[in-house]
Chains A and B, each alone.
Chain A
Amino acid sequence: MIQIDGVAKRFGANTVLDGIDLRIAPGEVVSILGASGSGKSTLIRCINGLEKLDGGTISVDGHRVDDPKQLQLARRCCGTVFQLFNLYPHMTALQNITLAPIEVLKVPRRQAETEARELLAAVGLAERADAYPAQLSGGQRQRVGICRALAMKPRYLLLDEVTSALDPEMTAEVLSILARLAESGTTMLFVTHEIEFARHISSRIVFLDQGRLLADLPTDRFFAADGGLAQPRIAQFLSKMSKS
């Protein structure tokens, strides 16, 4: 269970997160929606410890993220996929995926490589295992990024706008992989602009606006006229997004 209690985060005079309470249970697929600057990415970055909290607590399976001694344990439970891929440029796709399992989980190299190749095959990149990131397209890099996160066998998968840097065709590639993952029961926390996709695969939708949690509803409730859409801010946001 990821437990988020009263989390606050400020950047200088700017309050980006203002008292967020959230629970993510294993098996859920939760999408976080909201306008740019609403604090969505910051929330994910607080969960995996990339940002320090200015208030409140976050714990992953009981490990407190704000306690330096427990942070590494919390991180082991989570896998992160980034908007800009962030692959290690000096390592091949295979090496990118096997680095953490070998160094952190102490998995033997042979085994790590076999498992990595299986992951790459599942996303259709089996023949590109020895390619360097510079030789891969954006969509391919993101698929490697997903494999890299999955290689640690995380309990929770954190995805931060993972298709925002891709063109429509590559976006479709990646989304279909993510849909498969959701169906297989992986716990996922998405930050995304892809409303239709979120509607299709999420069990729950969370809406952030200017650092506050405006809605936390099961998907069909969120998109219902008397549920999420009843809130003017949400209705406004959704209509704007559907126009683009």
Chain B
Amino acid sequence: MRYADFTHHDLLLLLQGLGVSVALFVATTIIGSIIGLAWAMLRYYRTPLLAPLAAAVAELLKNSPVLVQLFLVFFGLPVLLETDLTPVQAALITLSGNTAAFVYVIAVSAIESVGREQLETARVFGLSRWQALRRIVAPQAAAFGFGPLAGLLVNQLQVTSLISVIGVVDLTKAGAILNVRTLKPFIVWTVIGVLYYLMARLIARSCARVETRLRAHSQWKGL
């Protein structure tokens, strides 16, 4: 028996998929941001060995397809480490790493935009590297990095769709299931597309609002 029409169960499936996508997006964004910022700290403190290593890993992750990274983690790691990995675990690891690489690049670029003299001035006044970072560099860098960060978030949301290929039942996988069952690709994929689109716009709009609030409090009036 094949239920070729849409039922209210399908709505549940869609919502479930949506929930999985959102949960993974949020989780990997948070974890990835922490890791990425940590790498940027390594670079800021010029930690020998670890800083260049982080830079190299970031470069590799940035310049290779996320799908291949997913395959490497989901299919490759279990064989290498002789453990088992669920699709969700593999997705978490891969997407966090991928996000970290891009956050690292944005953070480094933002810190560099602040200008060497700021840091030097702070040091001359006796502030430690950490204090200089916390009070002088980071606030300004945050303002510089916010725009690119918003763009990254939208992009990483799209990237979550790839976890469907390794079997995670996210929004895209829900679409695939519905497509196979109802054989109505135009409706199914349009709905999926619209949902992703709306989420992307939501993210973009929220970021814009946070940015205006950040700007309002900063002294930087611009040129």
Query: Is there a direct interface between A and B, measured as CB atoms under 8 Å apart in the complex?
Result: no
